Amino acid sequence: MIKSLWNDDIRQFFLAAAMAGLLAMGLATLIPGARAAETRTLLNVSYDPTRELYQAINDAFIKSWKARTGEDIKINQSHGGSGKQARSVIDGLEADVVTLALAYDIDAIADKAKLLDGTWQNHLGDNSAPYTSTIVFLVRKGNPRQIKDWDDLVKPGVSVITPNPKTSGGARWNYLAAWGHELNRTNGDQAKAEEFVAKLYKNVPVLDSGARGSTVTFAQRGLGDVLLAWENEAYLALQEFGDGFEIVTPSLSILAEPPVTVVDKVVDKRGTRALAEAYLKFLYTPEAQAIIARNFYRPRDPEAIKKTAATFKPIKLFTIDDVFGGWRKAQAEHFADGGVFDRISGRK
């Protein structure tokens, strides 16, 4: 039964397989960027909607650092849902700086992994948030449902798109903005607010896991009458998806402060503290503030604010500290297992 032909065949097969493997490896090394870079790197772990912002910021910072020190550096980016990104850092993703959607996620890094101390939010100006944003509505052109303010969202038949507050930072801001609005209208009636938010979520047909997913569902899939979105996301969507949409600014919304911080343990281990701190301080410079404004985040710098007056409609804003007593409390009350969100989504 032993034929020499088979023998050759098998040899050939393995030779071919080995060659293919080597070829793949060879191809891999040929592709540019294959060799490990000698330059110092910085890893910025951020949330979903900041991709475009930090691409621009990084280019500017690399130039400014080169001009100042003569050193070439490289900045690596990682984007994803804010909670997921925080968890990656907790599990060992070596982020030099984190720039997340909400302070709670950075608190979690401080609490669970002890990679930075609990006072991180006082280390930089403006609550460590070099830019702010808020929650607005994106509706279809001509606003066929006549959605003007929060009350219009709970009308029967209006379909609202917002992501899942359990997995998305943006969705938690959406939820808290709605809650704060009703609280304000009823002079602080928590029961009414819960009822309002429950009614709102009854009008939600899809809960995507992240803010970007919701935007695609609304803009690309054509689902829903109104999208609750970060202000910067709404403007970006106008830019990306063309004229089919318009932005509606509600009478009252929440002041979202996406914070940034250096991860102490990581920078000390990697010897990048000076670089990381310079990177975050750069965000507060007029140059960076202008980039921030161009990417539809609200800048902090008074000069930059003046220039954006035409884009950003004035809006009455409340803070999470005023209305909810800070992120830790809001998280425990509303979004933790068995919290208010679970209660209202269990209601049929």
Partner 1 sequence: MASATLPLLRRNRVASSVIPGFGPTLGFTLFYLSLIVLLPLAALLLKAAGTTFEQWGRILGDPRILSALWLSFGGAFAAALINAVFGLLVAWVLVRYPFPGRRIVDAMVDLPFALPTAVAGIALTALYAPNGWLGKLLTPLGITVAFTPLGVVVAMVFIGLPFVVRTVEPVLQDIDLELEEAAASLGADRLQTFFRVILPAIAPSLLTGFSLALARAVGEYGSVIFIAGNLPGISEIAPLLIITKLEQYDYVGATAIAAVMLTISFALLLAVNLLQKWRRARMGGRG
Partner 2 sequence: MNNQAIREPALVRWTLTILALAFLALFLALPLMAVLVEAFAKGWNAYLRALSTDVTLSSIRLTLIVAAISVPLNIAFGLSASWAIAKFDFGGKSLLISLIELPFSVSPVISGLIYVLLFGLQGLLGPWLVENDLRVIFAVPGIVLATIFVTFPFVARELIPLMEEQGREEEEAALTLGASGLRTFWLVTLPNVRWGLFYGVLLCNARAMGEFGAVSVVSGHIRGLTNTMPLHVEILYNEYDFVGAFAVASLLALLALVTLAAKTALEWWHRDELVATGH
Residue by residue, what is the 3-state secondary structure of 160-180? EECCCCCCCHHHHHHHHHHHH
Of 88 and 184, which has the nearer Cβ to partner 1? 88
At closest approach, how far in Å is the CB of 108 from partner 1? 6
At closest approach, how far in Å is the CB of 63 from partner 2? 18
Of 160 and 219, which has the nearer Cβ to partner 2? 219
Max CA separation in the chain (angstroms)? 91
SS3 label, residue 259: coil
- Both tokens of residue 231? 């202000």
102 to 141, contacts with partner 2 by CB under 8 A?
112-113
At closest approach, how far in Å is the CB of 87 from partner 2? 9
Q: Is there binding between residue 71 and partner 2 (CB under 8 A)?
A: no
Q: How many residues does the chain have?
A: 348
SS3 label, residue 294: helix
At closest approach, how far in Å is the CB of 167 from partner 1? 5
Of 49, 81, 130, 299, the residue at the interface with partner 1 (CB under 8 A) is 81
42 to 61, contacts with partner 2 by CB under 8 A?
43, 48, 51-52
**Which range in 2-10, 120-128, 141-149, 164-172 contacts partner 2 by CB under 8 A?**
2-10
Q: Is there binding between residue 40 and partner 2 (CB under 8 A)?
A: no
Of 40, 60, 64, 79, the residue at the interface with partner 2 (CB under 8 A) is 79
Residue 143, phi then psi, degrees to nearest 5: 45, 60
189 to 228, contacts with partner 2 by CB under 8 A?
210, 212-213, 216, 220
Q: Is there binding between residue 48 and partner 1 (CB under 8 A)?
A: no
The rounded distance, in Å, linking the Cα atoms of 138 and 248 is 6
- Beta-carbon neighbour count of residue 327 at 10 Å? 23
Of 108 and 254, which has the nearer Cβ to partner 1? 108
Of 80 and 326, which has the nearer Cβ to partner 2? 80
Q: Give me the DSSP letters along 53-85.
A: HHHHHHHHHHHHHHHHH---EEEEEEEE-HHHH
- Which of 204, 110, 219 has its CA nearest to residue 164? 204
Distance of CA 35 to the CA centre of its chain: 31
Of 223, 252, 315, 323, the residue at the interface with partner 1 (CB under 8 A) is 223
- Beta-carbon neighbour count of residue 309 at 10 Å? 9
At closest approach, how far in Å is the CB of 97 from partner 2? 13
- Between the alpha carbon of residue 247 and those of residues 38, 137, 231, 292, 315, the distances in Å are 46, 6, 9, 19, 13
Burial of 52 (0-12, 13-18, 19+ CB in 10 A): middle
**Residues found near partner 1 in the complex (CB under 8 A):** 81, 83-84, 87, 90, 108, 112, 164, 166-167, 204-209, 213, 221-223, 335-337, 342, 345-346, 348
**Residues found near partner 2 in the complex (CB under 8 A):** 1-3, 6-7, 9-10, 13, 17, 21, 24-25, 27-29, 31-34, 43, 48, 51-52, 76-80, 88, 90-94, 112-113, 210, 212-213, 216, 220, 236, 240-241
